[in-house]
Structure 1
Amino acid sequence: MDITTAPVAEPTAASTAPLRLAVIIGSNREGRFGPVVGKWVLDRLGERDDFEVDVIDLADIALPTSISYDPAPPVKAVLDTLTPRLAGADAFLVLTPEYNHSFPASIKNLIDWHYVEWQAKPVGLVSYGGISGGLRAVEHLRQIFAELHAVTVRDTVSFHQARGLFEPDGELREPTEPEAAVKRLLDQLGWWGRTLRDAKATRPYAA
């Protein structure tokens, strides 16, 4: 039997382009700690050239909690701006606090206003909170994103007793372990993002 080696395909422009990453800052509470964690994450992303970052801060998004298939004009105006940003993303990074053993309603609201925009895309999760570091919020989000045909990456970054971990300038007092954790998370997110983007370029996802 003759054995031949298939030629190695040349990388396409789509496969080498930076991933479009939507970073979602999930808390919209007054006095929230999310922007501190968000700045630290964005600084780490700024050290990489494999992502194009779009920050979606839910404190700036005026979505009502009442979901409608025929939204009123003010809501439609918000969606006309917001939805294309989610649709155009190759991957998502969600920053979530933990409120009452779960994630905040602002994140669930954003999720529930959309559906196909999440499909066949990877989601990375960064959490913060008290003793649990937001890990219960992460586990709840995994179930919801699975229902939406999204893939949550295995590794996370979690900040336990978060307010005591950061200096006033927003830098971590002990950065070694979080820096290693965020590198693993972003590397995995990048792998899944490129893999799924290339697969969808070859064949549509069967939802």
Structure 2
Amino acid sequence: MRLAVIVGSVREGRFGPVVAHWFAEEARTYGEFEIDVLDLARAEHELPVAFPEFGAPLPDAVRETHRALSERLAAADAFVIVTPEYNHSYPAPLKNTVDWFREEWQAKPAGFVSYGGMAGGQRAVEHLRPVFAELHAVTVRETLSFHMAWERFDEDGVPHDREGTSAAAKGMLRQLHWWGGALREARAKSPYGSAA
């Protein structure tokens, strides 16, 4: 089963890669997933904020980026979004990337790992849940939230509470694995959205 871990912040000096790397390692240790980390700060993942006219072909400069991202998202059986909280919500580049795709998200589970100050990114997650519902994705109940995240990890990028955070990660991964398997089986029997 393939799990796409999406790093949602592109801000200079961001803490997201530390959190995402730790979670990806937890997912590898869990042993049921092939991991694909998509860092939106990488130039090859950048999509414009101005969408082409509906139905119009994509501009040449956008086509290859869109195709490559589409293939990676479509190949995923489950998603984990790693997001900070900016002004009680999630980063604009994350929303932009989400909005460029539709079928790639459908009938697949999504989990959230958030980080930030006192709220630990939880308000960003609550804003993401209805977005993914609109995309016909299933969001799992368990989340991971790192309050004052930069104080929670050591210099090697490992949480100080290694045991507790690892247990929490495994709880989310179990839900993603169950939903990922169930929905993959359902998509194989009948393409999502087709008549019964």
Could you state the TM-score of these two structures normalised by the residue count of structure 1?
0.88
> 1:49 Cα deviation (Å)?
2.2
Read off the aligned partner of 1:39 and give its amino acid letter: H
Kept in 2, the 8 Å contact 1:67–1:112? The answer is: no
> 1:163 Cα deviation (Å)?
0.5
Which position in structure 1 is the counterpart of 2:46?
A: 62
> 1:67 Cα deviation (Å)?
1.4
Which position in structure 2 is the counterpart of 1:32?
A: 14
| Equivalent residue for 1:195, pick from 171, 182, 190 | 182
Which position in structure 1 is the counterpart of 2:137?
A: 150
Q: Deviations over 1:34-74 (max 9, x none)?
A: 01101111111121221011111000112111112432111
Identity %: 54
CA distance in structure 2 between the partners assigned to 1:103 and 1:181 by the alignment: 22
> 1:175 Cα deviation (Å)?
1.9
Unaligned 5+ residue runs, structure 1? Answer: 1-18
Read off the aligned partner of 1:42 and give its amino acid letter: A
May I ask how many residue pairs the two structures share in their alignment?
Answer: 189
Q: Deviations over 1:72-122 (max 9, x none)?
A: 111111112111111111111110000000000111011110011111000
| Equivalent residue for 2:93, pick from 100, 106, 129 | 106
Could you state the TM-score of these two structures normalised by the residue count of structure 2?
0.93
Query: Structure 1 residue 43 and structure 2 residue 18: aligned?
Result: no
Which position in structure 1 is the counterpart of 2:65?
A: 78
Kept in 2, the 8 Å contact 1:98–1:133? The answer is: yes
Read off the aligned partner of 1:23 and give its amino acid letter: V
CA distance in structure 1 between the partners assigned to 2:10 and 2:114 by the alignment: 15
Kept in 2, the 8 Å contact 1:97–1:104? The answer is: yes
> 1:185 Cα deviation (Å)?
0.3
> 1:142 Cα deviation (Å)?
0.3
Unaligned 5+ residue runs, structure 2? Answer: none
Kept in 1, the 8 Å contact 2:30–2:170? The answer is: no
CA distance in structure 2 between the partners assigned to 1:200 and 1:39 by the alignment: 30
CA distance in structure 2 between the partners assigned to 1:80 and 1:146 by the alignment: 24
Where do 4+ consecutive residues of structure 1 move more than 3 Å? none
More displaced stretch, 68-77 vs 116-125:
68-77
CA distance in structure 2 between the partners assigned to 1:122 and 1:21 by the alignment: 10
Kept in 1, the 8 Å contact 2:28–2:34? The answer is: no
| Equivalent residue for 1:178, pick from 128, 150, 165 | 165
| Equivalent residue for 1:132, pick from 119, 124, 138 | 119
> 1:177 Cα deviation (Å)?
2.1
Q: Deviations over 1:150-175 (max 9, x none)?
A: 00000000000100111111111122
